[in-house]
Structure 1
């Protein structure tokens, strides 16, 4: 397919977002009251129960388990051969990763299956912690139990634990968005590496001890050990990355996505790969916008509930922005495209609909791979230093074509 044809296909997807996609978009459900029982709340969620789960090796209090290698992973990556064109990687990531009454976590697991995609869930670990146990959280430089995102009612804690296990079994990565989401002058930008290590230790504990902390007895153990699963994260508000990366390097993390970077191939910073989001062109303006729903919303409406009459226009702009970022890479240096999102219905849910529409269009292009950050690290780690260096200096498509450009290493 020529570059013109690809642009036409992606443009057609953008134009088509006002019809069929709107009909199948996830819809908000009424939130029920917080459950008072330590057993399963009254709002039911579907899924496996302990009686239908095969015997596994439980870890700790039974909150986690060892079920073997993660299912639905791509074949082992290989080093690029001389003259071989790199794939076009796209990483879809979700900050927070909770399952509320809108059921967006589970909805996008279904979307991912449609496009054979792996995604990354940046779990906010206090979504595993009931409000009644918030005294267990000791955030650095804040009072005990403080949180700028609050705490879920028990029914949403239950649903989030359940869907986190299902997401992993479906092949998605469970990373972290940390806990209390503190931004601004008194937030994570002021944290030391030791503060970050304290926060990460609590991330581990809230996930590893959810059974003790919640009292839920009707959920299976998570099918993974979070102490080995957790190899990267994204800081709240993209702040505090420098000291976080120092802590991440000491902890042996493989990557961080807590800042912004140019649309080039990743490099390592303080040890981990810098897999941060890039600016993408925003149609109708001369500006770039970080490839995230929040930043699109901030540039379009400035608030989560903008003018309903503008939402179709804003959604089209969002799809076109993702398409422009994709084509810049696909027809250029093939740098991975990193997209960040939240399970939020800002401006009526148009940004989630835009991601879904963009995925549909991108999936039609040859060599496109929807991967998790962990899977992207696997690919980067097997490339030779010489190949990586050649990729990292590219600002656009190689002048003589990929055959010639990578034939030289």
Structure 2
């Protein structure tokens, strides 16, 4: 299954990423030390010829050309079975010395596929500059997630650099992650969301100014152009966020909770790509396709429980992810979205579960499965005939075309205009 997202409808068009030789940005020598946990995975282009980059703003980001390892997109032909898209995404995307960010980057590189990392802006803001953050309806510097220590901030930068060069998408998870109380993101107005996303962008694009680490390499992309998608904290506030997102040119949102495994539609002009309800072995109800929801149902959100439960819970979570994949693949081919955090809840069983499910999907031998980022998926959606997508949306959860894919995907030929004028009654 290695390289499966590079076949057929999605084929590689870019070579390996080039290493950075930053013009006007010092020697590129790392300052401040700190053990790196984001070392090259073999796909980061660390040994490729250096190329000059164009610095942006204070040099925190830079234009280095088109992103490597991006697939070309083709339209479905009449009668063609749609591929099975699978999107693995990560909320927060900070590396705090656990090795989880490089672990899953390597997993993706080993199989030649891409993921989406929703970066929290605060993870690039030093704690001693926390008062630079002005969250809506909360005090200056307030946050329901922690600020990163300097060595962890460096690790995060290192992993984000390499992730983009390896072909992964860098989206946004905003900043302070407020889930409850008067400052909850669920209470924010479109203007509040505008303030929040502006600040998230600022923290990502001015981290050199905030940290003083002028000798560090920039992030190798223009964030203002690369950022096209988001997931809101706690999956709250989407209706109020979408007007701002649309005005800013975002193309998709992945914040809806409790979506079904059906083909997506647009909401307020953006592709609505929700976490989905999937089978939950041993239960009559379904569970949301995210690690936190597995946790909530297994240990009532306790992150450190009786270790004797861990083997069964790990197996159950793995089986749930696999069941969601199989249901889609065997029936309506609806895209499958899985959300995660870099966490070690209940002994790290959810990280093991998502890796086990990933390997199951990636090595099953299906040439028509595509593990891609959200960005790559919406590129594919936007390239399709809208009538084809409308037809796919007719299929319900677990519903395969009764007449088979070839007949289902063969649209009837348009009726000539002269025929319709005589046979269709006037309104």
Instruction: Confirm or deny a common fold (TM above 0.5).
Output: yes
Q: Corresponding residue for 1:321?
A: 320
Match of 1:210 among 207, 212, 215: 207
Q: Corresponding residue for 1:350?
A: 349
SS of alignment partner, residue 51 of structure 2: coil
- Tell me the CA shift for residue 219 of structure 1: 2.1
Partner Cα separation in structure 2 for residue 68 and residue 160 of structure 1: 22
Given that 1:266 and 1:273 are in contact with CA atoms closer than 8 Å, whether structure 2 keeps it comes out as yes
Q: Is 1:244–2:245 an aligned residue pair?
A: no
What pairs with 1:134-153 in structure 2 (closer than 5 Å)? Answer: 134-153=130-149
Q: Corresponding residue for 1:407?
A: 410
Given that 1:59 and 1:225 are in contact with CA atoms closer than 8 Å, whether structure 2 keeps it comes out as yes
State the aligned residue count: 369
Q: Corresponding residue for 1:274?
A: 272
Partner Cα separation in structure 2 for residue 66 and residue 357 of structure 1: 36
Q: Which has the higher helix share?
A: 1
- Tell me the CA shift for residue 106 of structure 1: 1.1
Unaligned runs of 5+ in 1: 1-37
Partner Cα separation in structure 2 for residue 277 and residue 169 of structure 1: 26
CA deviations over 1:216-245 (Å, ceiling 9, x no partner): 134211110000111010011100010111
What pairs with 1:148-167 in structure 2 (closer than 5 Å)? Answer: 148-167=144-163
Q: Corresponding residue for 2:359?
A: 360
Match of 1:398 among 397, 401, 405: 401
Partner Cα separation in structure 2 for residue 84 and residue 78 of structure 1: 12
SS of alignment partner, residue 90 of structure 1: strand
Unaligned runs of 5+ in 2: 1-29, 413-427
Which TM-score applies when normalising by structure 2? 0.84
Q: Corresponding residue for 2:34?
A: 42
SS of alignment partner, residue 267 of structure 2: coil
Given that 1:277 and 1:291 are in contact with CA atoms closer than 8 Å, whether structure 2 keeps it comes out as yes
Which TM-score applies when normalising by structure 1? 0.88
CA deviations over 1:286-332 (Å, ceiling 9, x no partner): 11110000000110012111210011100110111011100110011
Q: Corresponding residue for 2:418?
A: none
Q: Is 1:99–2:74 an aligned residue pair?
A: no
Match of 2:192 among 189, 195, 220: 195
Q: Corresponding residue for 2:296?
A: 298
- Tell me the CA shift for residue 42 of structure 1: 3.4
Q: Corresponding residue for 2:77?
A: 81
Q: Corresponding residue for 1:26?
A: none
Q: Corresponding residue for 2:221?
A: 224
Misfit runs of 4+, over 6 Å = none
Given that 2:114 and 2:371 are in contact with CA atoms closer than 8 Å, whether structure 1 keeps it comes out as yes
Q: Corresponding residue for 1:18?
A: none
Partner Cα separation in structure 2 for residue 169 and residue 107 of structure 1: 16
SS of alignment partner, residue 71 of structure 1: coil
SS of alignment partner, residue 306 of structure 1: coil
CA deviations over 1:28-81 (Å, ceiling 9, x no partner): xxxxxxxxxx952433454699xx95321111111011111100111x211110
Q: Is 1:389–2:387 an aligned residue pair?
A: no
Given that 1:115 and 1:359 are in contact with CA atoms closer than 8 Å, whether structure 2 keeps it comes out as no
SS of alignment partner, residue 73 of structure 2: coil
- Tell me the CA shift for residue 184 of structure 1: 2.0
Given that 2:31 and 2:216 are in contact with CA atoms closer than 8 Å, whether structure 1 keeps it comes out as no
Q: Which is greater in Rg?
A: 2
CA deviations over 1:86-129 (Å, ceiling 9, x no partner): 00000000000001110211111000011222000000110000
Match of 1:54 among 43, 51, 55: 51
Partner Cα separation in structure 1 for residue 201 and residue 115 of structure 2: 21
RMSD: 1.5
Using CA pairs under 8 Å that are at least 6 residues apart, name the structure with larger relative contact order, 1 or 2.
1
Partner Cα separation in structure 2 for residue 151 and residue 344 of structure 1: 16
Partner Cα separation in structure 2 for residue 211 and residue 300 of structure 1: 42
Q: Is 1:67–2:64 an aligned residue pair?
A: yes
